Amino acid sequence: MAVLPCGTTWAAWSGVHELFMPRFVVENRLLSYPMRMSGPLSLSSCSFQREPALTHNVRSPQRSFSKRGSRLIVRAETDYYSVLGVSKNASKSDIKSAYRKLARSYHPDVNKEPGADQKFKEISNAYEVLSDDEKRSIYDRYGEAGLKGAGMGMGDFSNPFDIFESLFGGIGGMDMGGRGSRNRPTEGEDQVYNLTLDFKDAIFGVEKEIDISRLEQCGTCNGSGAKPGTTPAKCSACGGQGQVASATRTPLGVFQQVSRCSACGGTGETSTPCSTCSGHGRVRKSKRINLKVPAGVDSGSRLRVRSEGNAGRRGGPPGDLYVVINILPDPVLQRDDRNILYTCKVSYIDAILGTTLKVPTVDGMVDLRIPSGTQPGTTLVMAKKGVPVLNRPNMRGDQLVKVQVEIPKRLSNYERKLIEELADLSKATANAPKSWR
């Protein structure tokens, strides 16, 4: 008797008579040796590959028989424990906890990365086996081939969304893909509107009327998408699941992919579409909204207008409208958060002697006193002439005025003579004894 390994299963080969000795067939056929199994074995789970010049010696009770054939190669099967990230002695609660965590991360309605749906399928299959004591016992002894030998093929797993819904049931925000969840009311999408304001309107606030285009509930079918007087029926393509699974058999195994049903659009139901909304349950309309912009908004600020977005599906609540603010620049004044910046020019005489100038502010022209001896680059503060604090209009920032002293490039003869006399006086004063000063 010869014992040959096949994956995690050992098959005993015995009592072979030369009259019934078949050839090894490699191309899309199964080996047909009569055998006695030490455990369930499905040769369809094994892949075969021809390798020339290899001889198998099988001894029968009467004589030796030598036959040229092919070697049996068993590829690695799926490790369900590794798929869930648990050890082989993990408890049921550990397996359930690992499944819940991974299923949340790889659910196709949450994870849009390529391969997420296949990963979700693998996680569900692993949980279905390891959470069942009988299936887990067979898997621990004989591996995936043992499950197939026990009558559970690659296509015999439960719908992964049914498993998911049985644990989550749409509770706690996990309303993402079961048969019932796809027909529940869903909130409408949010809308974005870009609004451009003048410099002073953004500082002091303003009321604006804006026209928006949004999806509103169809008045003919009341948002159901079905023609009035008709009743939705279960989709025959997906059986009301809203999802369809397709299997592709490859040399590496069977790959299953879950996708949204194209016949019902993922709702699990089909009906005669409404003639007004073409079955969408919503129609696009324009609406004029009176918008109150608060004082102190800045470029990039977003104003939220509740329930002015797109209408929800199947009677769900509408989304919100977000108004994004963009502010036009002022040719004279600049804004720095809550402060207003301005640069004024003064002559060197005014900087030395001091003066009073009229400077522009957001409140209009205001007098600003330039102290005597003001140095070039000095910043003077005009308190509470800046931008109001958002939602607190009684609090305002400041206007910061930077003084730029102008030095003349040309002087008249008389001006030069006076400045030279002033320079001589300054030198004499500097060299005189302190008691004379």
Residue 275 confidence class, pLDDT cut points 50, 70, 90:
very high
What pLDDT was estimated at residue 12?
A: 42
- Position 4 scores a pLDDT of 46
372, pLDDT greater than 90: yes
Q: What's the confidence (pLDDT) of residue 388?
A: 95
- pLDDT band at residue 248 using 50, 70 and 90 as cut-offs: confident
What average pLDDT score do residues 215-230 get? 91
Positions of E strands within 176-301: 191-197, 206-217, 233-234, 243-250, 253-260, 269-270, 282-293
Cβ–Cβ < 8 Å for 309, 193: no
Kindly report, residue by residue over 323-335, the tens digit of the pLDDT: 999 999 999 999 9
The per-residue pLDDT for 172 is 38
Looking at residue 77, its pLDDT comes to 66
**Mean pLDDT (whole number) for 174-179:** 44
Q: How confident is the model at residue 23 (pLDDT cuts 50, 70, 90)?
A: very low
Q: What is the DSSP letter of 330?
A: P
Return the percentage of the chain with pLDDT > 90, whole number: 40
For residue 76, pLDDT beyond 80 = no
Average pLDDT, the chain: 78
Burial call 321-360: b when 16+ CB within 10 Å, e when fewer: bbbebebeebeebebeebbbebeeebeeebbeeebebebe
Percent of the chain surpassing pLDDT 70:
73
